[in-house]
Structure 1
Amino acid sequence: MKAIIYRDNGGPDVLQFVERDRPTPEPGEVRVRVAVSGVNPTDWQARSGTAHRKLFPEITPHLDGAGVIDAVGDGVDPGRIGQRVWLFMAAAGRPTGTAAEYTVVPADQAVPLPDEAGFDVGASLGVPALTAHRALTVAEDGPGRLRPGALDGKVVLAAGGAGAVGHAVIQLARWAGATVITTVSGPEKAKLAAAAGAHHTVNYREGDPAAAIRAITPDGVDIVAEVALGANLTVDLAVLRTRGTIATYANEGGHPVELNVGQNMVLNTRLQFLVLYTAGPQARAAAVEDVTAAIRDGALPVGEAHGLPLLRFPLHRTADAHRAVQAGAVGKVLVDVTP
């Protein structure tokens, strides 16, 4: 089979296009013929060595993808062969990610993909959708699960709504009934966020974004899904309601985070840091169930018409796909693996 591998941490040039034997699923695993592989910032960070140390002599990258199960290991229902699936955390603590024609994953990380969704949707889920779900379900006064109506009466602020996670936050929050506000850097990204379903967009580079958000929701925001905590914390606290939650999944820009303890005490702020790897199996399983339900309802479409442009690369150009993500490409970067 054709695969992408790297043996050493470094820049995109460490990625090699090679031939490898098809992997054999072990007990409890499935083998998937990958159609589309999704690329996330976590993937290039792992490749470069900035995210965590390299665990295996040779690694096939990428956490997310979609395809068809073509073999199962002992203990897995053989009736799953031929099932369309979306994959998450494929390369988490394992050497076999989705940047290959075939990959093996634990059976519960190959999730049945509803007929309503294509492989592009499946490959765009994983890290962004599960992270978004976590951000929307950690509030003290909010739901622990998402479904239509679960966020009725709540106001969600999606920071950076044109990004992959921000896009998923908008879609899931809208599906669950929230009023969704998003901050963006300009009119083109505002169009994308509106296409994703945001009720309101605020350009954080113009005027007073906190005042603009407060004009929309005088009582404040219930949940902030934050991508750049250091840069945005002042605005977040200015618009957060009492007992509101800031759920932060990144700190883009690397700005230091300074907390005014007294201000946060008075607000009873919940500051929730999150990452999928350590969220725990129960939280991930709940997110998988709810995201799959949202797919069935047609709530998670992708493509420019739905606020998430798709940037495609063939498998042999995976290094270019990494360069695009690392450079901050707007939209979702996908690698087409097999027809």
Structure 2
Amino acid sequence: MRAIVYSQTGAPSVLQLVEREAAEPGAGEVRVRVVVSGVNPTDWKSRAGATGQALAFPEIVPNQDGAGVVDAVGPGVDTVAVGDRVWMLLSAHGRPTGTAQEVAVVPADRVVRLPDGASFDLGASLGVPAVTAHRALTVADGGPTRLTPDALKGRTVLVAGGAGAVGHAAIQLARWAGATVVTTISSPAKAALATAAGAHHTVDYTAGDAAAAIREVAPDGVDLVVEVAPAVNAPLNQAVIANHGTVAVYANNGGDRMELDVRAHFALNVRYQFLLLYTLTPQALRAATEDITAAAEAGILPVGEDAGLPIARFPLERTAEAHAAVEDGFVGKVLIDVSDPA
């Protein structure tokens, strides 16, 4: 089978196309014929060595997310069967092989049935973005801990950076759950994408008084902020957060340190909740995959430019270019066509 591998960290050029034997699934494992692999910022950061840690394995196949068809199951697996269409998450977490290969062996709890009406493109676009968004939307004091229609009814959610992949999923899931969704963007083009995703209101944080614009929509403040840039946005969040509001932080774009006015946050009972996908509890991951699958089955997680998430596609042999596109800040989703969907 064809696979993309790297044996040292560095630029996208360290990624090489090789031939490897397809592994057999062991106990509790599933082998998937990968149709589409998804690329996320975490994938290029791992490849580039951004964490500063040495490679955990002599050779690594990148990419956490993907979608395909089950072609073998190991002993003890009863959650999926041969022939099932599935989406995958955390495929390379703690393991040497991700989804940038024609056949991937993945733990069964990281393989989820893909609803009949959902495309492989959608399946490969879930994983990191949708699970992160789900967690951000379910950490507020007083819940909800699960997302269903009306679970966030009566609440206002502010999504920072609504044109990104996580922001896109957060808008879709929050809207499905009944929230009023406001998002910050930096251009009319990004506003159009966020609106296509389902945001009720967009606010250009580069023009005018963003806090006043948000308060005009939410006079009592926003109940939950899905935050991608806490260091930059801390003053804005303080200005618009509601009493007992929560700021859910999933990234550190724009800086590693932030400054908070302690007294102001005391007065509002504000909760800052940091979250990291890779250390979520099994219960939180299971809740996320179940709710996300239900949302996908309901048709509320579409991808593509018309849905607010443009797609850039690359063949497997051009995985280095796919990684470079994400690293260079492509607005949308980068997908890799690995094998024929038939």
1:20 aligns with 2:20: yes
TM-score (norm: length of structure 1): 0.98
* Cα offsets for 1:227-266 (capped at 9, x unmatched): 1111111101100001100001011122631121111111
Distance 2:252 2:128 in 1: 16
Contact 1:72 1:78 (8 Å CA) reproduced: no
Task: Map 1:22-171; keep pairs closer than 5 Å.
Answer: 22-51=22-51, 52-77=53-78, 80-171=81-172
Query: Who is 1:284 aligned against?
Result: 285
* Cα offsets for 1:34-79 (capped at 9, x unmatched): 0000000000011111134421000000000000000111112397
Query: Who is 2:271 aligned against?
Result: 270
Deviation at 1:94, TM superposition (A): 0.3
Task: Map 1:190-339; keep pairs closer than 5 Å.
Answer: 190-254=191-255, 256-339=257-340
Distance 1:53 1:177 in 2: 44
Distance 2:234 2:325 in 1: 28
Q: Secondary structure at the match of 1:80?
A: coil
Deviation at 1:142, TM superposition (A): 2.8
Distance 2:155 2:54 in 1: 40
Contact 2:80 2:113 (8 Å CA) reproduced: no
Contact 2:229 2:252 (8 Å CA) reproduced: yes
Deviation at 1:134, TM superposition (A): 0.2
Contact 2:181 2:201 (8 Å CA) reproduced: yes
TM-score (norm: length of structure 2): 0.98
Query: What amino acid is aligned across from residue 163 of structure 1 in structure 2?
Result: G
Query: Who is 1:185 aligned against?
Result: 186
Distance 1:212 1:147 in 2: 29
Q: Secondary structure at the match of 1:289?
A: helix
Gaps of 5+ in 1: none
Distance 2:37 2:216 in 1: 41
What count of residue pairs does the alignment treat as equivalent?
Answer: 339
Percent identical: 63
Distance 1:324 1:109 in 2: 26
Query: What amino acid is aligned across from residue 105 of structure 1 in structure 2?
Result: V
Q: Secondary structure at the match of 2:162?
A: coil
Deviation at 1:81, TM superposition (A): 0.3
Distance 1:231 1:7, change over 3 A: same
Distance 1:182 1:9, change over 3 A: same
Give the 4+ runs in structure 1 shifted more than 6 A: none
Contact 1:231 1:255 (8 Å CA) reproduced: no
Deviation at 1:108, TM superposition (A): 1.5
Q: Secondary structure at the match of 2:70?
A: strand
Query: What amino acid is aligned across from residue 4 of structure 1 in structure 2?
Result: I
